[in-house]
Structure 1
């Protein structure tokens, strides 16, 4: 049910009594994907990063509970954003072994509360929002750090995040070729087949041969749905990580690997990397050289220095120090840091890396935008949840997600 009141509006007293609080929205994966477009999500996430560096957000470090055995985790991620107003938390379980049972590895909810009354306003499927907002952050980093003529994309991983990253990056750079690798070749082949079918359904072809000639759009000013202007896109399976990333302009690592799957020696000058999959101090997707040779940026310094194995392990080895973190994504968006200006790419030959851990301010900004969108368009496409105790629905079984 859609609450008629806008978020943050206090119930009015009538006849000496308070109105009943607004109804709580229960939004499953289908509702999220129907109403939270990549473009809307990118706009919301950009606002969240700006708010963070402007001091308009409260973002504590997340609580990560490692369960007996060391493989499974439970995360609690609270946050508050002042503009636009959003308050809440994400609760997320990460069970990598679920994929063997045909279940999603990431399951959880995002709770949105009224910033004036503290009342619960929405309970939203976390997996679908996480996928979209994580890809939105990578798209922002790519827009800010990758060369504008970047046409060759490599994706290491073939799960939920691979799909959302492909969608998001097509909107910010004129991608013409995509190479995909996964440890499980069948997953990579299935991803490529599904991506080709999706692009063809939207009027874009995915030919086996790379097209040549023709001027390319810059990817700026993408339409509301986040889709780029029509162009031919080649999407292929790579036999190994090195083959996938050699001479790529942009690389996205979206795997569950605890050890490096991307070596610095494979990364060509001028390449931008979005390092997404690893999220604990003792796991990483990039080797030490990949970090050491790059201009290195993060979503948040405090989080990276506490949780990012991609950075912490090279630091422990003495290859880099804290000064190697050149800036946060929000600082790049704002154009200045607390102490001096933060520079992004300084030359076409720079290698750049954005380390994404994921922040609750991203989730809450995206959910607040989603709720506003639903209130604006009405209840069409919303599947009511029978009771508050019923969890949000999950997508059909597929390759495991790699995000938190």
Structure 2
């Protein structure tokens, strides 16, 4: 087995690499060559933590494996990231465990990559104003991934934590872009691309704030009960999902679906169909939403890339297992 620590994993895969790898994984899924297995995600009843396992198989690589991890809200007080994850890869022919990969950074960039792929396929080509609601650690990956696919010149952001806003401001301004911290409403009203990435369990973004033609990446809802958008906004938009079942069970779509405002038939557009060119967005003035719940195939795509590169470059720590 090859053990690839977190620090090395972060050196092996760039944001651009992740966008390509995750795009290939979703295309493989749409073609029926890859699939994620049912997600396990539960409240532990200890330390307010949420723990989950996402597993899957991508025959196009091939790669078989799982990611285990979750969210520990008290970690920041310990000097640790709130999100903690590890990926275990198996030999698809024998079932032997071949790699253990530190996946905190990889989880961040694979999430940003999915968001970027949706933005590339759904947002206006000249979208230049990025709005970010929630400026924790994931916002950095969202910002960098969006800049990789759209000509962003101005970032608007909202967060109740001024330290989070300051950290994102420093990064954006160091890149030579304009940054403004605004109210929720102002961010939503003025963004060309709006990304919500919070742990909220109540709607933050109202339908009336969103202009025709705006694209939204709703990335925060990945557990039963989480919500960032008004159900009226979700029901009125053209929706693209990473996985239909996850969207209606743990994603942003769960609330509109539960109230009967959204049917499974309306969720026929998938990120796999979009990136493979088999499906396209609708009218230019449609509000579009990508419901990104996070899939095992994303995790396996970036972890497998890190594993291949670690082997090639002689990195990681080999051990008998």
Q: TM-score, normalised by structure 2?
A: 0.94
Please give the alpha-carbon distance, in whole angstroms, between the structure 1 residues aligned to 2:221 and 2:78. 22
Kindly report which structure 2 residues correspond to 1:307-322, keeping only aligned pairs within 5 A, or say none.
Answer: 307-308=250-251, 310-322=252-264
**1:70 Cα deviation from its structure 2 partner:** 9.6
| 1:29 shift after superposition | 2.5
Which has the larger share of helix? 2
Residue 256 of structure 1 is matched in structure 2 by 199
CA distance in 1, matches of 2:201, 2:71: 14
Within the candidate set 243, 246, 260, 1:303 is matched to: 246
1:235 aligns with 2:179: yes
Q: Secondary structure at the residue paired with 2:22?
A: helix
Query: How far does residue 37 in structure 1 lie from its aligned partner after superposition?
Result: 0.9
383 and 180 in structure 1: CA distance in 2 versus 1, 3 angstrom threshold: farther
Q: What are the within-5 Å matches in structure 2 for residues 3-402 of structure 1?
A: 24-68=1-45, 71-197=48-174, 199=175, 205=176, 233-238=177-182, 240-308=183-251, 310-336=252-278, 342-347=279-284, 349-376=285-312, 378-379=313-314, 382=315, 384=317
- The structure with the greater share of residues assigned to strand is 2
The change in CA–CA distance for 1:88 and 1:236 in structure 2 (over 3 A counts) is same
User: Normalising by the residue count of structure 1, what TM-score does the alignment of the two structures yield?
Assistant: 0.75
* Secondary structure in 2 matching 1:30: helix
Contact kept? 2:199, 2:226, Cα under 8 Å: no
Unaligned ranges ≥5, structure 2: none
Work out the CA distance in 1 between the residues paired with 2:258 and 2:147. Answer: 36
Alpha-carbon offset, residue 278 of structure 1: 1.4
Aligned length: 321
Distance 2:171 2:273 in 1: 36
1:252 CA displacement: 0.6
Offset at 1:281? Answer: 2.6
In structure 2, C-alpha distance between the alignment counterparts of 1:373 and 1:384, rounded to whole Å: 13
Change (3 A) 1:251 1:119: same
CA deviation string 1:229-256 (max 9, x = no partner): xxxx212222x21122222110011111
Compare CA radii of gyration and give the structure with the larger one: 1
Deviations 1:49-108 (A, max 9, x none): 011111111311111122227942111111111011101110103222323443321112
**Secondary structure of 1:260's partner?**
strand
Alignment check: 8 A CA contact 2:73 2:82 kept: yes
Counterparts of 1:70 and 1:185 in 2: how far apart (Å)?
A: 25
The secondary structure found in structure 1 opposite 2:303 is helix
Deviation at 1:383, TM superposition (A): 6.2
Q: How far is the alpha carbon of 1:180 from its aligned partner?
A: 1.5
Segments of 4+ moved more than 3 angstroms: 382-385
